[in-house]
Amino acid sequence: MLAAWMVSNTCFILAALELYELTHIVFSRENVPDAGARTSHPSAPAARINLPLASALLFCFNPASIFFSAGYSESVFAWTTFTGLRLVHQALQAQLSSDRSLYTFW
């Protein structure tokens, strides 16, 4: 019982870190159009939201996070899913930067 709790909580922390990294990679400055090119409302705040931190915090402090700290497999699944998504995104970025053809990857 204690081992299941420790594995689940460790994977939950790793999943939150992977989600932070995945969000940082996907929404980095290179992948998002220039903020100055977008038209925004004049009363919109000039400060940019730290999206990776916000997504990781919302992942950690949502009402369903009780299942991540229990001895269930949800945290292991979340960790492997976020890791897999990050690896696929990095592979696609590497493929696109090398020959600019998305179809050769598949």
Instruction: Give the model confidence (pLDDT) of 25-54 as tens digits.
Output: 998 866 555 555 555 555 555 556 799 999
Residue 35 in any domain: the answer is no
Residue 33 in any domain: the answer is no
Q: How confident is residue 88, by pLDDT bands cut at 50, 70 and 90?
A: very high
| Rounded distance between C-alpha atoms, residue 88 and residue 92, angstroms | 6
Residue 45 in any domain: the answer is no
**Count of domains in the chain?**
1
Q: Which backbone phi and psi does 13 adopt, to 5 degrees?
A: -65, -45
| Rounded distance between C-alpha atoms, residue 14 and residue 37, angstroms | 36
pTM value is 0.76
- Per the CB < 8 A criterion, the answer to whether 23 and 52 are in contact is yes
pLDDT in tens, 90-106: 998 888 877 655 555 55
For residues 76-86, give the mean pLDDT: 96
Residue 13: which domain range?
2-28+50-99
- Per the CB < 8 A criterion, the answer to whether 19 and 56 are in contact is yes
Exposure b/e, 4-39, CB count within 10 A at least 16 = b: eeeebeebbebbbebbbebbbbeeeeeeeeeeeeee
Residue 60 in any domain: the answer is yes
Residue 61 in any domain: the answer is yes
Residue 104 in any domain: the answer is no
